Amino acid sequence: MSTLTSINDLRFGTAVPQTVVAEEPVSDHALLEATRTGDEAAFAELVSRYRNQITSYIYRMTNDYDGAVDMAQETFVRVYQAADRYQTSYAFSTYIYRIATNLAISELRKRKRRRMVSLTGFFQQPEGQEAREFNPPDSGPLQDVVLVDAERRTAVARAISTLPEKYRAPLVLRDVEGKSYEEIARVLETSEGTVKSRISRARGFLREKLSAYL
Amino acid sequence: MNCQNCRTEIEEMELGEPLTERAGEHLASCTPCRAFHEERLSLRRLVGSLEPVSAPPDFDFRLRARLAAAGNGKSPRFWRSLIGTAPAMTLAATFALLVAGVVLYNQFRSGTSENKQASDITSQKSNPKVETPEVGPAIVTAESNPAPEVASPAEKQKTSPAVLTAGGDKQRATTVAGNRNNNRRQQNRPNVDGSPISSNELAATGARHIKPADDLQLASNAIELPVRSTSQPMRVFVNDRSGGRRAVILEPVVFGSQDLTVGGGARLASSQGIW
Question: From residue A135, how far is each of A13, A120, B36, B119, B155 by CA, in Å?
Answer: 68, 11, 26, 86, 120
Q: What pLDDT, on the 0 to 100 scale, is given for residue A170?
A: 94
Mean pLDDT of chain A: 81
The pLDDT assigned to B120 comes to 60
Q: Pick the residue of B7, B43, B47, B78 with the most A CBs within 10 A to test the interface with A by mutation.
A: B47
Q: Say if residue A57's pLDDT is above 90.
A: yes
Closest by Cβ to B42, choosing from A65, A72, A214: A214
Alpha-carbon distances of A152 from A66, A78, B50, B51, B136, rounded to whole Å: 22, 35, 9, 12, 107
Q: Do A210 and B46 touch (CB under 8 A)?
A: yes
Question: Mean per-residue pLDDT for A142-159?
Answer: 82
For chain A, say whether B154 makes contact (Cβ under 8 Å): no
Position B31, amino acid: T
Cα–Cα dist A103/A76, whole Å: 11
A98 and chain B in contact, CB less than 8 A:
no
Residue A58 makes CB contacts below 8 A (sequence gap 6+) with: A67, A68, A71, A72, A75, A100, A103, A104
On the question of pLDDT at A171 being above 80, the answer is yes
A126: pLDDT strictly greater than 90: no
Question: Which residues in chain B have their CB less than 8 angstroms from residue A211's CB?
Answer: none
Distance CA A111, CA A67 (A): 12
B234-265: burial string, b at 16+ Cβ within 10 Å, e else: bbbbbebeeebebbbbbbbbbbeeeeeeeeee
Top residue of A35, A43, A48, A55 to mutate, by most chain B CBs within 10 Å, is: A55
Contact B46 A214 (CB under 8 A): yes
Cα A149 from Cα A132, distance rounded (Å): 20
Classify strands B266-268 and B258-260 as parallel, antiparallel or unpaired.
Answer: antiparallel
Contact A207 B52 (CB under 8 A): no
- All residues at 6 or more sequence positions from A67 whose CB lies less than 8 Å from its CB, including other chains: A58, A107
**CA-wise closest residue to A70 among A55, A90, A56, A82:** A55
User: Residue B264: which region, alpha, beta or left (left: phi > 0; alpha: psi -120 to 50)?
Assistant: left
pLDDT the model gives residue B167: 41
Q: What is the pLDDT of residue B226?
A: 61
Which residues of chain A make contact with B48, given a CB cutoff of 8 A? 175-176, 178
pLDDT of residue A61: 92
B14 CA: distance to closest CA in chain A (Å): 9
Can you give the pLDDT at residue A186? 92
- Cα of B91 to nearest chain A Cα, Å: 24
Q: Which chain A residues are within 8 Å of B46, Cβ to Cβ? A: 152, 156, 210, 213-214
For the cut 70, the answer to whether the pLDDT of residue A64 exceeds it is yes
Mean per-residue pLDDT pooled into runs of 10, chain B (275 residues):
87 84 89 90 89 90 88 51 61 88 87 64 50 42 42 44 41 43 49 49 56 55 59 77 80 60 47 45
Contact of B49 with chain A, judged by CB distance below 8 Å, is answered with: yes
Q: How far apart are CA A186 and CA A174, in angstroms?
A: 13
Q: Are B226 and B236 in contact (CB under 8 A)?
A: no
Nearest by CB to residue A69, choosing from B47, B55, B67, is B55
Q: Given an 8 Å threshold on Cβ–Cβ distance, is B47 in contact with A55?
A: no
Residues 6+ apart with CB under 8 A from A138: none
A77 and B62 in contact (C-beta within 8 Å)? no
Mean pLDDT along residues A22-34: 83
Rg (CA), chain A: 24
What does the pLDDT read at residue B140?
Answer: 44
C-alpha closest to that of A124 among A132, A135, A116: A132
pLDDT computed for residue B178 by the predictor: 43
Best of B53, B54, B61, B64 to mutate (most A CBs within 10 Å, chain A): B53
- Residue A150: the pLDDT is 83
A65 to chain B, any CB pair closer than 8 A? The answer is yes
For residue B174, what is the DSSP state?
Answer: E
CB-based contacts of B23: which residues, under 8 Å, 6+ apart?
B1, B5, B6, B9, B10
Cα B24 from Cα B28, distance rounded (Å): 6
Q: Cβ separation of B59 and A55 shorter than 8 Å? A: yes
Environment class of B185 (CB within 10 Å of its CB; exposed 0-12, middle 13-18, buried 19+) = exposed
Instruction: Answer for the pair B59, A51: CB distance below 8 angstroms, yes or no.
Output: yes
Radius of gyration of chain B (CA): 50
By C-alpha distance, which of A2, A6, A43, A3 is closest to A26? A43
